Amino acid sequence: MMKKLYLLLSLGLLPLIADEFFSFIGIDAGYQKVQLDPAYNTKDTTHTAVGLRIGTQTRKFRGIIELENGNRYRAFDISVDAIPFDELFGTPKVRPYIGLSATVLNYDNESLEDSDGYGFGGHVGVLIYAGEKVDIDLSYRYSTINQIDGVDTIQGVRLGIHYFY
């Protein structure tokens, strides 16, 4: 697990190596579905969540650290994204991306014994530039969860806004 986390952290630093990078801060809101193991006789749950992000990006990569707070869970995420299509089309106002993430989370559910765990996942999304210093981020995320018996996956959609400084 530590090797995977180290690899993800190393990849997250890639944007800092580039000759030109853009730092940002942002907020997001999302709708998440937590899939629970049927053996625990509980239904899957859905939650709304809000997050605070800080990150940096280049024309090809983006790295983000995020604190997220939901109805029954709290998470710390590190993600790295590739923005692959700019070389084909230039730098448009709409930029699709694909990424990987690592999550440490606390999930409260009275029917589960464990509440702390970690997860790895992937996400896809699109960045829409609303101005010179603002972008809108619409994404879908899917993560598998470990060490919380009864929690299998968390998936959902998010809408964020970032300010470049």
Task: Count the residues in the chain.
Answer: 165
Contact 47, 70 (CB under 8 A): yes
Mean pLDDT computed over 20-37? 90
CATH of the domain at 119: 2.40.160.20
What are the tens digits of pLDDT across the range 119-156? Answer: 999 999 999 999 999 999 999 999 998 888 778 889 99
Mean pLDDT computed over 98-127? 88
> Which carries the bigger pLDDT value, residue 68 or residue 1?
68
Mean pLDDT over each residue of the chain, to the nearest integer = 85
Segments forming the whole domain that contains residue 6: 2-164
**Phi/psi at 84 (5° precision):** -85, -15
- Rounded CA gap, 24 and 133, in Å? 9
> Which carries the bigger pLDDT value, residue 35 or residue 17?
35
Nearest to 162 by CA among 97, 66, 85: 66
The single-letter code of the amino acid at 26 is: G
- Is 0.85 surpassed by the pTM of this model? no
Q: What percent of the chain has pLDDT over 70?
A: 81
Number of domains in the chain: 1
